[in-house]
A and B are shown apart, each in its own frame.
Chain A
Amino acid sequence: GENVEQHPSTLSVQEGDSAVIKCTYSDSASNYFPWYKQELGKRPQLIIDIRSNVGEKKDQRIAVTLNKTAKHFSLHITETQPEDSAVYFCAARIISGTYKYIFGTGTRLKVLA
């Protein structure tokens, strides 16, 4: 079945360092890959996304890369700040009659001041 693996499950970095979270998807028909940030008790917030026809996308300190051949995509956060601390979820949109999203298991990021 369709699934998305996400690693690591927890990640601690020093403030100012970079953080990288990796995901692997199984359905080669997936064509859209969003990343969500979720703070405690709040809704998932879309922070960046990438389509299957693009290899990389950047938005200020956040970037996402996609390797379609390997079915990998990664989130890169540079110059991390304490407010980046949250749980991050990757997702892959699949097409099985209609569009639905498969979520990764999440990464708890802690940025240490």
Chain B
Amino acid sequence: DAMVIQNPRYQVTQFGKPVTLSCSQTLNHNVMYWYQQKSSQAPKLLFHYYDKDFNNEADTPDNFQSRRPNTSFCFLDIRSPGLGDAAMYLCATSRDGGVGTQYFGPGTRLLVL
């Protein structure tokens, strides 16, 4: 039944070692989002895709990149993780127009050593 799936659920990486987080969805939604959430804070939007159109937030560091090879999958690449990048990374989807409800995946918790 899972609608938005994130892998892995926990990721440990070393300072400066590239890491990729993945998100897949079975909802056929055309919008996919990546959020960073640190402890006790609101989810912070990093970027989102409307179909294949990439929309970057102005304050998202260049260290963060994303790919969406098809409707179902979206990846978050962190090129050189720093200690400050340790956080929960949440993927979400929505259907543009219509109800517009946003569905979240379970998140990937990233630890940087």
Contact = CB atoms under 8 A, between A and B. Distances in A.
Interface string B61-72: 000000000000
A89 to B, nearest CB: 6
A44 B90 contact: yes
Interface residues of B, number: 23
B102 interface: yes
Contacts, number: 53
A5 to B, nearest CB: 11
Contacts of B40: 87, 106, 108
Interface residues of A, number: 23
Contact of A43 (B41, B53, B96, B106): B106
B94 A99 contact: yes
**Taking each of B42, B94, B96, B105, which has the highest tally of chain A beta carbons within 10 Å of its own beta carbon?**
B42
A32 B100 contact: yes
B42 A89 contact: yes
